[in-house]
Amino acid sequence: MNATDENGEKDCVFCKVIRGEIPCAKIYEDKKFIVIADVYPASKGQTLVIPKKHETYAFKMQKEEYEEMQSLVYDVARAIDNALKPLRTCEVIEGFAVPHVHARLHPAYEQYLQLQGQKETMDKLEETAGRIKENMPLA
Q: Closest by alpha carbon to 126, among 22, 64, 59, 36?
A: 36
Of the candidates 54, 100, 102, 106, the residue annotated as catalytic is: 102
102 classed as catalytic:
yes
Beta strands 33-37 and 47-51, pairing class: antiparallel
Give residue 15's Cα distance to chain centre. Answer: 12
Contacts of residue 124, defined as CB under 8 A and 6 or more positions apart, other chains included, come to: none
- Strand-pair partners of 105: 47, 91
CA 55 from chain centre, in angstroms, equals 14
Active site residues: 102
